[in-house]
Homo-oligomer: A and B are copies of this chain.
Amino acid sequence: MSSSAQKHDVFQAIADPTRREVLRLLAEKERPISEISAHFPISRTAISKHLHILSEAELVSGKKVGREKIYHFQPEPLAKLKQWLSFYEQFWNNKLLKLKHIVEDGDDGLNIVEKGEKSK
């Protein structure tokens, strides 16, 4: 199966602070909805909706056990985030790449002045 008609992706799923906290709780260990919602000032129903959204993004998955629904954390979608991030890591890890870009773009770079440097 693995429905690709997902309305919520990982970027949206982690945008909400409550959902991030839910994720952290589930990363620790799997828990039923009521246990999760006990950690928050909002209603159980609200938490249930958040779990639904996390579930759409495949960051969590729930299995019904007796009358409880036990949710557990699924890290896979975060790889996509990591991948997205990796593109931008150049910009803060490797300052030399800035120069490289300037060269490749055909800019002669003569008047480029880095922060705190004098231009002449």
Contact = CB atoms under 8 A, between A and B. Distances in A.
Interface in A60-78: 73, 75-76, 78
A82 B79 contact: no
A16 B15 CA distance: 10
Interface residues of A, number: 27
A23 B88 CA distance: 10
A41 B61 CA distance: 36
Contacts of A12: 15
A20 B73 CA distance: 26
19 contacts: A11-B15, A11-B16, A11-B17, A15-B15, A20-B84, A24-B87, A27-B88, A27-B91, A29-B101, A29-B105, A73-B91, A75-B88, A76-B92, A78-B85, A78-B91, A79-B92, A81-B81, A81-B85, A82-B89
Contacts of A54: none
A14 interface: yes
